[in-house]
């Protein structure tokens, strides 16, 4: 079986996943006809405009447009209003559901937030939007580049597939947690193509960096995970190679006596894909869990083949996340084995 996957598939599937795990709400973005999702479209527009603010050479321009409520800032205001209304509707429905059945046992996070006493609507609305924003685009970006790298590295794909077939068809949490090689391959993919290619922090107080650089209160300090993942001083002379083994130790290395791989992580300051310090990404474990489940579900049944000419190299477009220009058109070939 062969078909073309649209470039928004990962984002819409993850938006469905996050919406359901957060609130129990199913936006039905994965219907067979793949209808255009208005909420997803609005989310993309708001994200792109917000990203433009960060990358603006002349920040005062967007501030003027915001003051005058014109152009992109007017569209951002309208998109933000629609997103907040969408989130508030979900919260309203969930409150009604909980009021009718106070003993409702629900696994979604929104029910737990509301049941634990978080009644401030603006606070809960921010939580809903932040949760979807943090998980949807970043995870879909990571998976897009991951499947591209797998298509170019057949030996890695074979090893990932071997590990997947050792698990059940619908792997439970413990099985997913034990997918060490797949975990390493995802880390390696995000080293080369981090979901957030560049990030920044604003100094709350005057400070001095370890190298003596003075940072004044209010100064913006940027760091570049995309560039850091390609530094020879951090990753060696073979930094350009997609090699999951750099994250692993084998039985021959004395890692264990069962002949299996053992994962060896890097400190977050060398590999800041999930941030570092006291504010490390809270969704890190959930992101890996979801990505491994998606990878296992797809590769067990299909081979992902790029629909592109030989020699094609995708172009990275850095918004808030590492997007692939024009998406990643592929063909799914059903596995015969």
Query: Residue 131 CB: number of other CB atoms within 10 A?
Result: 22
The helix or strand, by DSSP H or E, that contains position 202, with its residue range, turns out to be: strand 199-202
> Max Cα separation, the chain?
67
Residue in the structure block whose two tokens are 């917000």 = 50
Which letter does DSSP use for residue 322 in this model?
A: E
**281 marked as part of a ligand binding site:** yes
| HEC assignment per residue over 17-63 | HHHHHHHCCCCCCCCCCCCCCHHHHHHHHHHHHHHHHHHCCCHHHHH
Round the CA-based radius of gyration of the chain to a whole number and report it. 22
Q: In what order do the strands lie in the sheet with 302-306?
A: 4-5, 330-334, 302-306
**Residue of 193, 139, 150, 135 lying closest to 330 (CA atoms):** 150
By CB atoms closer than 10 A (0-12, 13-18, 19+), residue 99 is exposed
Binding-site residue set for heme: 281
Binding-site residue set: 281
């Amino acid at each position: 079986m062969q078909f073309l996957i649209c470039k928004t598939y990962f984002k819409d599937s993850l938006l469905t996943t996050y919406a359901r795990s957060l609130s129990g709400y199913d936006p039905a973005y994965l219907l067979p006809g793949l209808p255009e999702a208005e909420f997803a479209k609005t989310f993309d527009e708001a994200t792109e405009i917000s990203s433009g603010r960060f990358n603006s050479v002349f920040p005062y321009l967007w501030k003027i447009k915001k003051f005058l409520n014109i152009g992109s800032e007017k569209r951002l205001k309208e998109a933000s209003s629609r997103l907040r209304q969408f989130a508030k509707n979900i919260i309203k429905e969930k409150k009604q559901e909980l009021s009718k059945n106070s003993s409702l046992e629900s696994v979604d996070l929104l029910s737990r937030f509301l049941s634990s006493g978080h009644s401030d609507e603006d606070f809960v609305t921010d939580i809903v939007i932040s949760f979807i924003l943090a998980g949807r685009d970043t995870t879909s970006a990571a998976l897009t580049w991951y499947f591209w790298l797998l298509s170019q590295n057949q030996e890695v794909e074979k090893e990932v597939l071997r590990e997947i077939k050792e698990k059940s068809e619908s792997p439970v949490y413990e099985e997913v947690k034990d997918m060490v090689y797949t975990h390493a391959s995802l880390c390696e993919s995000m080293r080369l193509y981090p979901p957030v290619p560049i990030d920044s922090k604003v100094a709350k107080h005057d400070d001095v960096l370890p190298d003596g650089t003075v940072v004044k209160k209010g100064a913006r300090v940027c760091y570049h995970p995309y560039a850091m993942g390609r530094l020879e001083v951090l990753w060696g002379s073979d930094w350009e190679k997609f090699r999951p083994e750099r994250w692993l130790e084998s039985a021959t290395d004395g890692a264990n006596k069962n002949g299996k791989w053992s994962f060896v992580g890097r400190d977050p300051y060398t590999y800041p894909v999930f941030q570092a310090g006291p504010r490390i990404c809270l969704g890190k474990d959930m992101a890996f869990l979801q990505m491994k489940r998606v990878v296992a579900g797809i590769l067990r049944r299909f081979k992902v083949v790029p629909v592109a000419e030989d020699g094609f190299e995708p172009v990275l477009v850095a918004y808030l996340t590492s997007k692939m220009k024009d998406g990643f058109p592929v063909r799914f070939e059903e596995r015969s084995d």
